[in-house]
Structure 1
Amino acid sequence: MMSKQLKWVYLFILSLVWGSSFILIKKGLVGLTAFQLGSLRIIFAALFLLLIGFRSLSKIQKHQWKYIALTSMFGTFIPVYLFAIAETEIDSSITAILNSLTPLNTLILGAAFFGITFRKNQIWGVVIGLIGCLLLVFNGAINHPEQNYYYAVLVLIASICYATNVNLIKRYLSDLTSLSITTGNFLILLFPALAILSFTNFYEVVHIEKVQHSLWFILILGVVGTGIANVIFFKLIKISSPVFATSVTYLIPIVAIFWGLLDNEVLTFIQCVGAFIILIGVYLSAKK
């Protein structure tokens, strides 16, 4: 299949997988803490990837390991914990909508540090996206006083991390296979994730039925939503542009909102308007 067609296939698959990740995090938090969830997500993904991709590590040159380490931190380690912490206070659908600012942040960081130039319509996209974000967050805070919308800042930080990650991969690791990059990332992350998990009370509560039930959701999230999805995502970055690759976040909120509504989450009309404004801003920022 030609790369022009294949990139749309990858985009569609990732939208389904990552759009479902937010509800899996929500279900995982029923029996796990945010740090337990984040650590287990990384551990499950790492074990799976080392099983299928250990041999691919030999393709990574010595000088590339520093970029593997950087992309592991920005692309997985920091966001995994930030999303888990954020969803202890705000709905999964809201988290997914805010995550759609990633292409916009990719453009801003690309222009600031990686030599990508701005166009006029892209500047308008940045402004419009930020307006939509403010509308979504402030209206949510007013209509959902039981939720702490200050935690939305964590999602914004995570989207900036993702944006940094795709620019780094495109700039410094485009000659490596997707499996090599992903397996290298999780080899590095396995040990700190195990260390963080050991400082929680996970081993004391793992026998509890509620905890074991949550583990199944995180196993799916780790293997499919993190391990396999990252391999596909890195393939997408290699055959397209960083901004196109992160435009998967156009579709992620649609899938996440669908799951959220099934789980009795509620979006106000103003929040829907804010979400739509964000997507317009993202579209303008990604448009050539």
Structure 2
Amino acid sequence: MQSNNSKKWVYLLVLSLIWGTSFILIKKALLGLSAYQLGALRTLITGLFLFVVGYKKIKTIKKEHWKWVAISGVLGSFIPAFFFAIAETEIDSAVVSVLNSLVPLNTVLLGAAVFKIASSTRQVIGVIIGFIGTSILILEGADLNPNQNYLYAGFVIASTVMYAVNVNIIKRYLQEVKPLAIAVGNYVVIFIPALLVLIFTDFFNLNNFDIPVFNKAIGYVVILAFFGTALAKVLFNTLVQMSTPVFASSVTYIMPIVALAWGLLDGETFSWTQGVGTLIILIGVYLANRKTKKIRSV
């Protein structure tokens, strides 16, 4: 028991390090690639890895589940891969990482409003607190970095909403499907669209491969796709199985700390007011994810 307890903390810390580093990898990759090239390439590399590991799982997906697997793939993987890259063309990676922490809050909000999943008063308060923190973070960031377009924060917030819809879809409609099968099925659906996007971005122009920064950026995307997407999915599913969804979701608290550290090391600015906004968001996330016995249906 003690061994398993120690192991889950190791998984949590490794996941936090991997996901917290993803944002700086996106930033570095954007030095040589466009946001659309990055999103498409990340999707393709992740898909190839998952196909190698779990292609046999595809046949376990029943016909009636494919619709939800497809929606899950588009909302949970395809569009966010582009939206996060687009956002980081204008906003610091550290701020993007903090905004990503809204996923648990939006999961609670959408679960109650759309999927009729019961929520507690504490969770509702957590959502409200979280959005107050988000407002502080964005407004202060826009004031601190007038050269950055903080309207692009909308791409991150939209992605967190899509992630939240995806989580609720999996919980409600794909409970019978194995996590690896869902992941592989997702990329079966979005692989060809990603390839088409990459083709139309002129990525395969041979002259591009003579540019050092272009090749270096591809290296960052390979690392991002393998560790930050494919491997992280497997690790997270394992963590949920060995602990609880509530414990696993606490990766949300540690991940921004890692991303902030990378951002500051890379010369990004982050004010005390933004720090307060970040703390408020994390308090909201904590309240929204805390277990309670008294629940009400919204």
TM-score range, shorter-chain basis? over 0.9
Rounded to whole Å, the distance in 2 between the matches of 1:271 and 1:279 is 12
Aligned to 1:131: 132
Contact 2:109 2:124 (8 Å CA) reproduced: no
Aligned to 2:110: 109
Rounded to whole Å, the distance in 2 between the matches of 1:49 and 1:207 is 29
TM-score when normalising by structure 1: 0.93
Matching of residue 286 in structure 1 with residue 289 in structure 2 = yes
Aligned to 1:147: 148
Matching of residue 40 in structure 1 with residue 41 in structure 2 = yes
Which residue of the other structure, out of 259, 266, 275, is the alignment partner of 1:256?
259
Deviations 1:188-245 (A, max 9, x none): 1110000001111212223311100000000011111111112333445567776655
Greater mean deviation of Cα atoms: 169-178 or 80-89: 169-178
Deviations 1:95-133 (A, max 9, x none): 000001111001001112333222222222111111110
Rounded to whole Å, the distance in 1 between the matches of 2:24 and 2:182 is 27
Correspondences of 1:6-45 after superposition (within 5 Å): 8-45=9-46
Aligned to 1:212: 215
Contact 2:70 2:186 (8 Å CA) reproduced: yes
TM-score when normalising by structure 2: 0.90
Rounded to whole Å, the distance in 1 between the matches of 2:114 and 2:160 is 16
The letter for the 2-side match of 1:284 is L
Contact 1:126 1:281 (8 Å CA) reproduced: yes
Identity of aligned residues (%): 49
Contact 1:166 1:242 (8 Å CA) reproduced: no
Relative distance call for 1:15 and 1:28 in structure 2 (3 A) is same
Rounded to whole Å, the distance in 2 between the matches of 1:236 and 1:172 is 21
> Would you say how many aligned residue pairs link Structure 1 and Structure 2?
288
Relative distance call for 1:53 and 1:229 in structure 2 (3 A) is same
Rounded to whole Å, the distance in 2 between the matches of 1:53 and 1:217 is 24
Alpha-carbon RMSD across the aligned residues, in angstroms, is 2.0
Aligned to 1:227: 230
Aligned to 1:188: 189
Rounded to whole Å, the distance in 1 between the matches of 2:19 and 2:77 is 13
Matching of residue 160 in structure 1 with residue 122 in structure 2 = no
Contact 1:170 1:237 (8 Å CA) reproduced: no
Contact 1:122 1:285 (8 Å CA) reproduced: yes
Partner secondary structure for residue 266 of structure 1: coil
